Amino acid sequence: MKFLITAGPTREALDPVRYLTNRSSGRMGYALAGAARHEGHEVLLISGPTTLDIPAGVDFVPVESAQQMYDAVRDLIGGVDIAILCAAVADYRPVAVAEQKIKKHADKLVIELERTPDILGSMRSVFGFTGKLIGFAAETQDVESYAREKLHRKQCDMVVANDVSRADIGFDARENEVLLVFAEHTIPLKKDTKEQVAMRIIEHATIIKP
Ligand code: CTP
């Protein structure tokens, strides 16, 4: 099967030397790409900037901004069987990107932000993707119910949900403990390394019924 996986953070430029980003390390997405490849699948990894090594045998497309990630997914989604959108895409970006470095003048500086395109939310409605769709949900409360609501709203087949209020798992951590949320049921995976959790997610992703 052919997998498309998004990973890592995005960078939203403010000026030529500054950007807004988040603490995503990219580890979960790279582990998913490695696990899918290990199982013999064709893998396309679209990633924001990380310090990780690209898993062997994976087709790699580097991007920076949410818009670039959106464009790459839109252009490359054809022929994909399973899409796993794991990237921590910035929800907002500066409305204007200064052409020159912003100089300090006043005591306060207000930066106006606008929404970035929602890649996961565009998969069915805009890109017409008909394969298996897996999203991630980072929540700080009511993890399962928010994840299931996201599953329905974005027409996913599975949502991988984790509790980001915990420092030991998820964002920028080596381990993860997630719930695999489906329309009718939930499968909790035990806390483990992101590589092990990735293997379980790939197993479940490949057996989703149409
Ligand atoms: N995502 C995306 N494009 C965006 C923002 C998010 O594809 N611009 C994807 C992420 O890769 C992840 C999922 O959406 O798979 C989770 O996004 P999140 O921001 O948590 O969900 P929202 O539905 O936007 O809800 P909220 O931010 O209110 O929790």
Which overall architecture, per CATH, does domain 2-100+112-207 show?
3-Layer(aba) Sandwich (3.40)
- The closest of 38, 119, 57 to 86, measured between CA atoms, is 119
Q: How far apart are CA 110 and CA 11, in angstroms?
A: 19
Query: Which tens digits make up the pLDDT trace of 45-55?
Result: 999 999 999 99
Ligand 1, atom 8, lies closest to the CA of 118
Mutation probe of ligand 1 site: the residue of 91, 127, 154 with most atoms within 8 A of C-beta: 91
Q: How far is the CA of 188 from the centre of ligand 1 (A)?
A: 21
pLDDT at 173: 81
- The closest of 164, 114, 115 to 137, measured between CA atoms, is 164
Residue for token digits 């590589």? 195
Q: Which two tokens stand for residue 146?
A: 């928010």
Query: Which tens digits make up the pLDDT trace of 15-65?
Result: 999 999 999 999 999 999 999 999 999 999 999 999 999 999 999 999 999
Query: Is residue 10 within 6 Å of ligand 1 at its C-beta?
Result: no
List the chain residues with pLDDT less than 50: none
Cross-strand pairs, 3: 43, 82
Please state, in angstroms and as integers, the Cα–Cα distance from residue 35 to each residue in 90, 194, 203, following that order: 26, 10, 9
Q: How far is the CA of 29 from the centre of ligand 1 (A)?
A: 15
Residue for token digits 């498309």? 4
pTM of the model: 0.95
Query: Is residue 173 within 6 Å of ligand 1 at its C-beta?
Result: no
CB atoms within 10 A of CB 136: 24
Q: How far is the CA of 106 from the centre of ligand 1 (A)?
A: 34
Ligand 1, closest atom to CA 134? Answer: 15
pLDDT at 166: 81
pLDDT at 174: 86
Mutation probe of ligand 1 site: the residue of 11, 68, 74, 119 with most atoms within 8 A of C-beta: 119
pLDDT at 156: 98
pLDDT at 167: 79
Task: Provide the annotated active-site residues.
Answer: 22
Query: Is residue 135 within 6 Å of ligand 1 at its C-beta?
Result: yes
